[in-house]
Amino acid sequence: MAVLATSLVTALAINTVFLGAVNPLFDDSRVHEIRIKFDNPDWYDQLYNGHVLDPTDPYFRCSITVDGLTLNPVGIRFKGDAAFYIPSIKKPFKIDLDVFNNKLDLYGMRKLNLNNMYNDPTMLREKLFLDFAGRYIPAPRAVHARVYINDQYWGLYLAVEQIDKPFVQSRFGPQEDGNLFEAQGAGDTDGLTEGQACSDLTWLGPDPNAYRPYYRLVTNETTGDYSDLVHLIDVLNNTPLAELSEKLAEVMDIENVLWGLALNNLFVNLDSYIGTAANYYLYHRTDTGRFIHLHWATDEAFARTRPYVGPDQDPVTLAPFWVPVTRPDQRPQYRPLMERLWAIPQYQKAYLRMLARMCREGFRPEELGKEINRLADLIRQDVYNDNNKLYTNAQFEQGLVQDQVIDKRVIYGLVDFVARRSAYLDQELDGYASIGDIQMNELLIANVTSQADEQGQHDPWLEIVNLGPGKVSLKGLYLSDDQAAPTKWALPDLEIQDGQFHLIWLDGQPQQGPTHASFRPAAGPGQLYLFDARGVLIDTIAYPALGADQSYGRYPDGIGPWKLTDSPTPMAANKWTYKPPRLFINELMADNTRTIQDPDEPGAYEDWIEIYNAEDLEVDMSGMILTDDPSNPTEGWRIPSGVRIPAKGYLLFWADGEPEQGPLHADFKLSRSGEAVGLFDTAEHGYVLIDKIEFGPQSSDVSYGRRGDGGSQWRFMTSPTPGKRNPF
Residue 477 has pLDDT above 60, yes or no: yes
Residues 206 and 326 in one domain: yes
Domains of the chain: total: 3
pLDDT tens per residue, range 395-408: 999 999 999 999 99
Q: Tell me what pLDDT residue 641 has.
A: 83
Residue where one domain finishes, among candidates 505, 536, 565: 565
Q: Which residues pair with 691 in a beta bridge?
A: 679
Residues 495 and 631 in one domain: no
Nearest in space to 430 (alpha carbons), one of 497, 339, 337: 497
Phi, psi of 607 (to 5 degrees): -60, 150
Nearest in space to 627 (alpha carbons), one of 693, 697, 679, 683: 679
pLDDT tens per residue, range 342-392: 999 999 999 999 999 999 999 999 999 999 999 999 999 999 999 999 999
Crossing angle between the packed helical segments 414-430 and 365-385, to the nearest 10 degrees:
160
Q: Roughly how many angstroms between the first and final C-alpha of the chain, as a whole number? A: 33
Q: Tell me what pLDDT residue 416 has.
A: 98
Residues 243 and 342 in one domain: yes
Residues 313 and 458 in one domain: no
Using pLDDT thresholds of 50, 70 and 90, give the confidence band for residue 17.
very low
Q: Is the peptide bond preceding residue 510 cis, with omega within 30 degrees of 0?
A: no
Helix (H), strand (E) at residue 251: helix 241-251
Residues 520 and 642 in one domain: no
Q: Give domain status of residue 237, yes or no.
A: yes
Nearest in space to 441 (alpha carbons), one of 568, 618, 354: 568
What single-letter DSSP state applies at residue 26? G
Average pLDDT over residues 450-479: 96
Q: Tell me what pLDDT residue 423 has.
A: 98
Q: Is the peptide bond preceding residue 460 cis, with omega within 30 degrees of 0?
A: no
Residues 557 and 511 in one domain: yes
Average pLDDT over residues 622-629: 94
pLDDT tens per residue, range 501-545: 999 999 999 999 999 999 999 998 899 999 999 999 999 999 988
Residue where one domain finishes, among candidates 565, 597, 623: 565
Q: Tell me what pLDDT residue 311 has.
A: 83
Q: Tell me what pLDDT residue 517 has.
A: 98
Least confident of 162-171, 273-282, 458-467, 544-553: 544-553
d(CA 541, CA 575): 19
Q: Tell me what pLDDT residue 327 has.
A: 66
Q: Give domain status of residue 153, yes or no.
A: no
Residue where one domain finishes, among candidates 360, 385, 411: 360
> What mean pLDDT value characterizes the chain?
93
Q: Tell me what pLDDT residue 560 has.
A: 87
Say if residue 456 is exposed, middle or buried (CB neighbours under 10 Å; 0-12, 13-18, 19+).
exposed
3-state secondary structure of 184: coil
Angle at 137 between CA 320 and CA 571, to 5 degrees: 75
Phi, psi of 647 (to 5 degrees): -60, 135
**What percentage of the chain reaches a pLDDT higher than 70?**
95
3-state secondary structure of 680: strand
d(CA 446, CA 435): 29
Residues 217 and 341 in one domain: yes
Using pLDDT thresholds of 50, 70 and 90, give the confidence band for residue 312.
confident
Nearby residues of 484 by Cβ (< 8 Å), 6 or more positions away? none
**What percentage of the chain reaches a pLDDT higher than 90?**
85
Q: Give the residue numbers spanning the domain of 667.
A: 583-717
Q: Tell me what pLDDT residue 619 has.
A: 87
Let me know: does 263 contact 359? Beta carbons within 8 Å: no
Phi, psi of 357 (to 5 degrees): -65, -40
Residues 588 and 712 in one domain: yes
Amino acid at 494: L
Residues 500 and 455 in one domain: yes
3-state secondary structure of 641: coil
Q: Give domain status of residue 652, yes or no.
A: yes
Q: Tell me what pLDDT residue 672 has.
A: 95
Q: Give domain status of residue 549, yes or no.
A: yes
Residues 290 and 346 in one domain: yes
Q: Tell me what pLDDT residue 328 has.
A: 66
Helix (H), strand (E) at residue 259: helix 254-266
Average pLDDT over residues 324-331: 77
Let me know: does 268 contact 414? Beta carbons within 8 Å: no
Q: Give domain status of residue 367, yes or no.
A: no
pLDDT tens per residue, range 642-690: 899 999 999 999 999 999 999 999 999 999 999 999 999 986 557 899 9
Q: Which residues pair with 156 in a beta bridge?
A: 146
3-state secondary structure of 230: helix
Average pLDDT over residues 573-589: 91
Q: Which residue has the higher pLDDT, 368 or 172?
A: 368
C-alpha R_g of the chain: 29
pLDDT tens per residue, range 185-232: 754 333 344 444 579 999 999 999 999 999 999 999 999 999 999 999
Q: Give domain status of residue 333, yes or no.
A: yes
Residues 489 and 622 in one domain: no
Residue 15 has pLDDT above 80, yes or no: no
Q: Tell me what pLDDT residue 562 has.
A: 87
Nearby residues of 379 by Cβ (< 8 Å), 6 or more positions away? 31, 123, 124, 144, 156
Q: Give domain status of residue 666, yes or no.
A: yes
Q: Give domain status of residue 544, yes or no.
A: yes
Residues 278 and 306 in one domain: yes
pLDDT tens per residue, range 414-447: 999 999 999 999 999 999 999 999 999 999 999 9
CATH of the domain at 657: 2.60.40
Q: Tell me what pLDDT residue 14 has.
A: 37
